[in-house]
A and B are shown apart, each in its own frame.
Chain A
Amino acid sequence: MGSALDSVAADAQCIYPSGAAMIAQIKQAGIRHIISVPDIVTSDGLLWPIARDPDFTLVRVCKEDEGVSICAAMSYNKTRALLLMQQTGLMDSLNAIRAIGMDYRLPVCMMVGLQGKEPHLPPDQSQSYGVRIVEPVLAAMALSHNLIESPEDVSSIAGHIDTAYRDSVPHCFLVGRSPESP
Chain B
Amino acid sequence: MRRDHALEILKQHITDELVVAVYQSCFDWLAINPRDLNYVGVGAMGQASSHGLGLALANPDRSVIVFDGDGSLLMNLGSLVTIGQAAPKNLHHFVFVNGVYEVNGSHPIPGKDKVDFAAIARGAGYRNAVTFNDLDAFRRDLGAFLTEPGPMLAAMHIAPGDPYPRDYDFIHSREAHNRFRTALMRS
Contact = CB atoms under 8 A, between A and B. Distances in A.
B76 interface: yes
B78 A66 contact: yes
A52 to B, nearest CB: 18
Which applies to chain B's interface (DSSP): helix, strand, loop or mixed? helix
Interface in B39-90: 39, 41-44, 46-47, 50-55, 57-59, 76, 78-79, 81-82, 85-86
A15 B78 CA distance: 38
Contacts of A105: 174
B180 interface: yes
Interface residues of B, number: 30
Given A72-B54, A96-B44, A100-B47, 6 more contacts: A68-B44, A69-B44, A74-B54, A76-B58, A96-B47, A104-B174
Interface of B: 39, 41-44, 46-47, 50-55, 57-59, 76, 78-79, 81-82, 85-86, 172, 174, 177, 180-181, 184-185
Interface of A: 33, 57, 59-63, 65-74, 76-79, 81, 95-96, 99-100, 103-105
15 contacts: A61-B78, A61-B79, A62-B81, A63-B79, A65-B50, A69-B43, A70-B51, A70-B57, A73-B39, A73-B51, A73-B55, A76-B58, A96-B43, A100-B47, A104-B41
